[in-house]
Structure 1
Amino acid sequence: MEFLRVGQLVNTHGIRGEVKIMANTDFPEQRFAVGKQVWLEHPTLVEKLPLTVAQVRTHKSTLLIRFREWNNINQAEAFKGAWLIVPEEEEVTDEDDGFFFHQIIGCQVVTTDGMQVGRVKEILPLPANDVWVVSREGKADLLIPYIEDIIKDVDVKQQVITMEWMEGLE
């Protein structure tokens, strides 16, 4: 079974087992709704640990989540840096032409005039808009904001993203 990374446990919060999660999904309100199950993946675990969302709230750019299975900080502390994952068949979308983070990673980026830019290696989910990190051969990584003025087309089947080059990107 294949899994998707939907968030990362970045820290604990308080003493009652609540944790800070950096969401890695376009639909955190659906993915981390009360009652939803996710699995914890961490190098110290032999098997993935199932966790059920008991409470969730937004805090700055993270989510504060309490899982039913944890009721104190000691249960969560050892798992800082762990990934929260879900089975791939649980993908969530709200539109037919939508796409997911994992479908963007590895896509070739080209400009509207055909210039090869590089490949998307990471997505930084930020409050204003996501930023796509593009790895370029022989050059520093390029940070591209995911906004309509720049990203003109995303073809996940062909693994090609077409962008409008703008002054100041480099």
Structure 2
Amino acid sequence: MHKEDCFYLGKIAKKFSYKGEVLAWLDTDDPGYYEDMESVFVEINKHLVPFFIEKSRLHKNDFLRIQFEDVDSEEAADRILGCELYLPLTMLPKLEGDKFYFHEIIGFTAVDERLGDIGIITGINDNSAQPLFEIKKGETEILVPMIDDFIVKIDRPNKQVLLNTPEGLVDLYLS
């Protein structure tokens, strides 16, 4: 499995017991959705390695307590401590309406209600306080804040994100 075919689920945060159980912090709004997984990919030395789960259950709402097959001691748990967890993209829950995963809208056309087609979404910059759509129009890169008030509709069948940006925001890039 290649990393680009997967999504980041979380990381192994700490050991839980002397029998190799670990606590994994999950980067999700609904950790319970992942409680009954059979396996997960653990990134070890930049490679995704499948680990099979004997049992797991939620622990204090944000963590998943996991007992992996063949991880039956503190020493074995130490070897995977801090490792990131991944799952195939096909395991993401389907989102409806105007909710979307960042990777899902890459390649969609950004259409402003006032300006029309303003370019292709090439990425999402989430390194700032407010995530930004990275939109490419010819040689110009346009950055639009991902604010609910700006997003009118996610049109999956037509691969479009319909936006209503304030006057001047996008015009600044296109002039």
TM-score using structure 1 length: 0.62
Quick check: 1:6–1:86 contact (8 Å CA) kept in 2? no
2:65: which partner in 1? 66
2:118: which partner in 1? 116
Once residues 94 and 135 of structure 1 are traced to their aligned partners in structure 2, the CA distance between those partners, rounded to angstroms, is: 21
Once residues 18 and 150 of structure 1 are traced to their aligned partners in structure 2, the CA distance between those partners, rounded to angstroms, is: 38
1:153: which partner in 2? 153
Change (3 A) 1:29 1:150: farther
Change (3 A) 1:155 1:94: closer
Report deviation, 1:139: 4.7
Q: Does 1:29 align with 2:29?
A: no
Number of residue pairs the alignment of both structures matches: 150
In structure 2, stretches of 5+ residues that fail to align are 171-175
User: What percentage of residue pairs aligned between the two structures are identical?
Assistant: 12
Quick check: 2:23–2:65 contact (8 Å CA) kept in 1? yes
Q: Which amino acid in 2 is paired with 1:119?
A: I
Change (3 A) 1:121 1:39: same
Q: Which has the larger radius of gyration?
A: 2
1:164: which partner in 2? 164
In structure 1, stretches of 5+ residues that fail to align are 125-130
TM-score using structure 2 length: 0.61
Quick check: 1:38–1:84 contact (8 Å CA) kept in 2? no
The correspondence for 1:77, drawn from 81, 88, 92, is 81
Residues 71-122 of structure 1 deviation map (CA, whole Å, 9 limit, x = unaligned): 755143251xx2421362x453375x57652422332222112151551523
Change (3 A) 1:37 1:107: farther
